[in-house]
Structure 1
Amino acid sequence: MVQRVTATDSALQLIEELKEKHGPLMFHQSGGCCDGSSPMCYPEGDLLTGSQDVLLGTIGDTPFYMNKKQYEYWKHTQVIIDVVDGRGGMFSLEGVMGKRFLSRSRAFSDEEFKELKAEGTV
């Protein structure tokens, strides 16, 4: 099964630290300007999702959503969540820790894209 979203080991470690402090979490990437263009980490349920959000998958047992319009640009790629030093979005939980989540990506291979089409997820 092709994963639409994955995370680096350092991102998974930070997710675990945040879960210890805040309980269950969720991610959302809207594709807007400023903070909205970064993956944002919230306590689960703090951001209401709706019909304009796509659940890409989970990272560290944490759901990762993306705005449907943004998804149209990213659907041919695997989103890879990483962590870098620096201040992130002011509403994202990791910001006070001097870290920020960062989205990287790689294009799916032809074989992976065919598999996603067969699953009906493209």
Structure 2
Amino acid sequence: MVERVLATEEAIALIEQLKAKHGPVMFHQSGGCCDGSSPMCYPDGDLILGDQDVLLGEIGGAKFYMHKNQFDYWKHTQLIIDVVDGRGGMFSLEGVLGKRFLTRSRAFTKSELVELNLI
């Protein structure tokens, strides 16, 4: 099955570091309000999800969500979560470490779109 969200080795390493400090974590792709459109990492359960949040998959054992309205725009792309130096979202756990998660993406191939029932 095609994965909608992946993570680089660097992102997985940072997730493991955050889990060691905070316990289980979760992600929500920010929709551009306070923190731009960054993947936000929270202690698992700290962000209250609504019935409009879509589970895209898991990275490093952490569930990754996105609001349905945003998903409608991004459903043709695979998200690749990476890490770069710098301050990210002020609410995301990694911010104090001088690192930030970053979403990269690529368009699904035609065969992947078929597998995902998008065409």
TM-score, reference length from structure 2: 0.96
* Alignment correspondent of 2:94: 94
* Alignment correspondent of 2:16: 16
TM-score, reference length from structure 1: 0.94
Q: How far apart are the structure 2 equivalents of 1:68 and 1:31?
A: 10
Is 1:29–1:36's contact at 8 Å kept on the other side of the alignment?
no
Structure with greater helix share of residues = 1
Deviation at 1:36, TM superposition (A): 4.7
- Matching of residues 58-97 of structure 1 within 5 Å: 58-97=58-97
* Structure 1 unaligned residues grouped into runs of 5+: none
Deviation at 1:34, TM superposition (A): 3.7
Which runs of at least 4 in structure 1 moved beyond 3 Å after TM superposition?
none
Structure 1 residues 17-45: Cα deviation after superposition (integer angstroms, max 9, x where no partner): 00000000000013123415110000000
RMSD: 1.3
* Structure 2 unaligned residues grouped into runs of 5+: none
Structure 1 residues 43-85: Cα deviation after superposition (integer angstroms, max 9, x where no partner): 0000011111000000001000001111011100000000000
Aligned-residue sequence identity (percent) comes to: 73
Q: How far apart are the structure 1 equivalents of 2:92 and 2:103?
A: 14
* Alignment correspondent of 1:111: 111
